[in-house]
Amino acid sequence: MAEKGIRTLSLFSGGGGLDIGFEQAGFEILFATDFDHDCCETLRQNRGNTLPEKLVVAEQDITTMDFSILPDNIDMIIGGPPCQTFSASARRAGGAAGKLDKRGNLFESYVEVVRKVQPKAFLFENVRGILGTNKGKDFEDIVSAFAAEGYTIEHRILDAEDYGVPQQRERMFIVGHRLNKPFLYPKPVYGPDSTKHAPYLKVGDVIAGLVMSEQDKIETSFAGGKYARLLPLVPPGSNYLHFTAKRGYPNPVFAYRSRFSDFLYKANPETCVKTLIASPGKYTGPLHWDNRYLTISEYKRIQGFPDEHVFSGDRASQIRQIGNSVCPKVAYYMALAIKEQVFDSKTDIEYLSPDDTLSFDKRKGQKAKETKAIHQAVAEKSKSVVVSAFHLKDFSTSVMPSSLGKNTMRVVHDSEGNVTITVQCGSSKETEAVLDLEIYDGITQNAKIPMKVILLGNDERDIQTMWNAVDIWVKECSSFRSLLELYGHFTEPHPIFKIKKFELKTDLPVFQFAKYYANFENCGVYADKKLLLSMWKDKFRQDDFVELARTLRTFRYDVRCHETNIAIPQGVYMVAYPFALPLDKQMNFNIKGH
């Protein structure tokens, strides 16, 4: 390790990823701070281990911190404020809030520290999405705020796999400096952009030799759950898409793009893995090719942490700290680049020129072409081999899943493949709604199943019962587990069914609402709140939109608005899906204040 002397302050330190990389490059981390207790305990436990023995750890909220506790004569500041408001996961909820969320303004505290300390340089890390939130204005504001303190600002997107981490992980790195020339970023050490075109590290090689404890075996078991049986069938490197018609699966379980790419994603030991995330769900990968979850030790190696670096907290907390951290190896190369250019300390790394373009975006484009070719080949093959996703059958019961309550349904299909579902709600005798659907059956989407849903019922909640009946039919007559699987995620729908006609014989507002959103073009787009309130003008006042949205959510319509996601502007709302959803399938169900 190089001689110490570059006095460094660490903000938003998390699990210590940046700190380790800079420490290894010869920087002296004097002070680290974070709001999270487990993160601070992690930093404390690693003093004298992977971090300096005399490191001061301040468990404080940076927005209220007394800056007088900071050490004097600081040369360098490093840190990566929380990224959730700029991330892809935020966009999945209907929009990345960026600075609209108070977490998106934590950079202002970073700027305050820079103003007080006046370091020679600083490094600011965040997700790639920070460049685009609020049409790019957030990033402009961040750059302007730092530049106002007298710093030249450079930024680049770097991918961790280029620097010795077996993980595809793109992150944005800002360097603020006062050089009289551009700051140059470190050239990749691995991959096609490296000088020697060294092959990327294989995740199987990186985690080889780790021994699982008995506790590890318990914690990483993938048993239980409705999709657990599918994992052994997923080829390494693939995900839930393996079970789609577009990939040629004979009895499709999912529609194409009905899940996110990390769902049932199994790592391939011969390649890098996709990005580790901080809060994985039950079926979120990367999952081990031995059909289990990864151990904490494997997480650490995949993120580039030393084996000896320990994390505080339970398993979920440790995964969160690892997933939120900067890869120490990327931090190391960034530290060397800063050390040589800002602090005149010779290193042996190579640099990218300011106009060099890295190839990770190009590689994504190539992969998209390969995927398209796979789908085309499957479609060509299906012309001679008819693959049906559905097995039509008649059924009628008086005792159905809880989603029907005390109501009943009867399904009949005729010799021409037409399906009729009659939904009986209570003692109603009159037909109040008729829904005509068309469901595509097969890989090529040429064959179609005409479906008519007849609703006998005029209670406000009967409209969701109609959709529940369709959902039950999907489960009974196919390998799909829900209607949602046929539609896809609202941010990029690829439906294999469409609504041809929606006839109503009632003027109940929720029925009119359902008919409006039966038009796919009205889903997933902003609409004026006055439109929604006008449907309930006799029940809700103009200032009662939040209560109306809450009511519709109890009717299982996924209404999203500023009160559920701050990224959605005031005065508008959106409905993600044309059909009712179980509450646990809706995003951000709890409207603030209600």
Annotated catalytic sites, by residue? 83
3-state secondary structure at position 515: helix
Q: Which residues contact 538 (CB under 8 A, 6 or more apart)?
A: none
Which residues make beta-bridge pairs with 156?
173
Which residues make beta-bridge pairs with 176?
122, 153
- Cα–Cα separations (whole angstroms), residue 27 to 3, 7, 14, 17, 186: 8, 7, 18, 14, 17
- Main-chain dihedrals φ then ψ at residue 211, nearest 5 degrees: -105, 130
Alpha helices in 383-495 (DSSP H): 462-477, 484-487
Calpha distance 43→55 (Å, rounded): 9
The token pair at 139 is: 């990033």
Q: How many angstroms from the chain centroid is the CA of residue 254?
A: 19
Residue 15: closest CA among 242, 271, 263, 322: 322
- H or E stretch at 451: strand 447-456
CA dihedral sign of residues 67, 70, 76, 79? negative
Calpha distance 35→57 (Å, rounded): 11
Spatial strand order of the sheet with 170-177 comes to 56-59, 27-34, 6-11, 76-79, 121-127, 170-177, 152-159
Phi-psi region of 507 (alpha: psi -120 to 50; beta: other; left: phi over 0): alpha
Q: How many angstroms from the chain centroid is the CA of residue 310?
A: 26
